[in-house]
Amino acid sequence: MNQRIESPRPSTIEPNATAPVEDLRSALARLAATPGQLIETDREVDPHAELAGVYKRIGAGGTVERPTRLGPAMMFNNVKGYPQSRVLVGLMASRKRVGLLLDAEPRRLTQRMADAVHNAIAPTTVPRDQAPCQQVVHLASDADFDLRKLIPAPTNTESDAGPFLCLGLVLGSDPDTGHADVTIHRLCVQGRDELSIFFAPGRHIDTFRQKAEARGEPLPVSINMGLDPAIHIGACFEAPTTPLGFDELSIAGGLRGKPVELVDCVSVAQKSIARAEIVIEGEILPNVRVVEDQNTNTGHAMPEFPGYNGPANPSLPVIKVKAVTMRHGAIMQTLVGPGEEHTSLAGIPTEASIYNAVEAAMPGFVKQVYAHTAGGGKLLAVLQVNKQSAFDDGRARQAAIIALGVYSELKHVILVDTDVDPFDTEDVMWAMTTRFQGDLSTMFLPKVNGHVLDPSQTPDFNPALPARGVTCKTVFDCTAPFHLRGEFERAKFMDVDPRPFAPELFADAHGDA
């Protein structure tokens, strides 16, 4: 069942392959019933750098410095300095595991998410006695309250600005309309009751914060950790798929076929996710800023999805914490910043957004979209197109332009034919090698908004760029010209069932993480 490392105690997770996933614990039960998808360890681990260092070699993947690999999710049951806490990492750090948790084939996750957008179900509010997240309440007004001792927030590296809440889903509301929004943000623990929050440009909760700050008012928020993975992934859609006023929690409702349950917070005028493991309640203060690495002076924030250490921000808004609520035996959930988990979180919604937009413009033309892990699920997409005529040579490039238009942070698009597997990097590189000529097959779109965390998107790297986060976007057309399609037909092999010849290789269809 779920493999364990140096674990003399009974497993803390009861396997259950058939129960519906409705929170983190039922998600873990499903993984525990699937060989190779979850391991636990009782060996003591330091949350400062060591925990992430261990998982780097177990299953982080993504853009993490090599050596790394894809592997199982991992539960640390013995966290140094936190005898009552457990830390989970890597829940969504493989596409196969996400498919298992979202009841979809890994190659159909794009379409599964795309359908959820069209069949969204709004969240509902439940009474407090039906909200497991409020089983234990810690008020910041208590003399012994201290976030740093209460929550085992890890650092990814020894040079991080401080402990980070890497999977803290922030829920805020528009002060004008009351419309709610959820987004995952970079949250650094700065003191006993303070967090800093980093907003990439254009985030909706930052718009809410600016509105409240213009009035001299704080913005009440909840930070929700340890969730049904449908909530985390659904929250990672962006405009224009989810414009201002669209509640991303409704996408998780569409995925599960029932509404996400919310509950009124105990200390601020906001709601939290009722089945969360841990909730931090607080307010983003108006006109208060802090240096992100004020406690460490490392100059770095944390490793970001492109694989580099993000620079510490010199001026970030502050969340003043009012309370922390928890489930009994709460599980702290985290991720390795540049790992494969970010690709799942950001990339699958990216794929669905592109797929829906292109499908609306040219139905049936784009067969698959893969937001490649080399771009952290944001910067690089592979589109598989189905050419049927010479006119489709142009439609392929139009599909790429639509993709760049619908997802502003996308930097590179690679186009491939239907005989190329977009999820297989070697196959994509084969197409680029044999169906691509740089001077003929490349489209450049200079000086377009991109993503501020890509270190090449700066005037220092390219003086033609006007500001950080502006880039040259590129389309690599690795499709065969339609009139030459006969010259590019792949060698055909006999289609043989290999299982009778090598049954040991196919005995466990679920073991590969």
Whether 92 and 24 have beta carbons less than 8 Å apart is answered as no
Average pLDDT over residues 94-108: 96
The reported pLDDT for the residue numbered 249 is: 97
pLDDT digits (tens, 9 = 90+) for 314-342: 999 999 999 999 999 999 999 998 999 99
Angle, vertex CA 119, rays to CA 269 and CA 223, nearest 5: 25
Range from 215-219, 220-224, 314-318, 405-409 carrying the lowest mean pLDDT? 405-409
362-484: CATH topology is UbiD C-terminal domain-like (3.40.1670)
Whether 114 and 104 have beta carbons less than 8 Å apart is answered as no
4 - beta bridge partners? Answer: 40
Q: Which residues are catalytic?
A: 304
The reported pLDDT for the residue numbered 394 is: 97
CATH top class, domain 3-341: mainly beta
Distance (Å, rounded) from C-alpha 84 to C-alpha 86? 7
- Dihedral sign (CA 176, 180, 185, 189): positive
Q: Which of 286, 248, 285, 268 is nearest to 325 (CA)?
A: 268
Is 3-341's fold the same as 362-484's? no
**Among all chains, which residue has been given the structure tokens 């309440």?**
137
Distance (Å, rounded) from C-alpha 167 to C-alpha 148? 17
pLDDT digits (tens, 9 = 90+) for 356-410: 999 999 999 999 999 999 999 999 999 999 999 999 999 999 999 999 999 999 9
Q: Count Cβ neighbours within 10 Å for each residue of 65-75 and write b for 16 or more, e otherwise.
A: eeebebbbbbb
The reported pLDDT for the residue numbered 508 is: 57
pTM, full prediction: 0.93
Domain residues of the chain, as ranges?
3-341, 362-484
3-state secondary structure of 471: strand
pLDDT digits (tens, 9 = 90+) for 140-160: 999 999 999 999 999 999 999
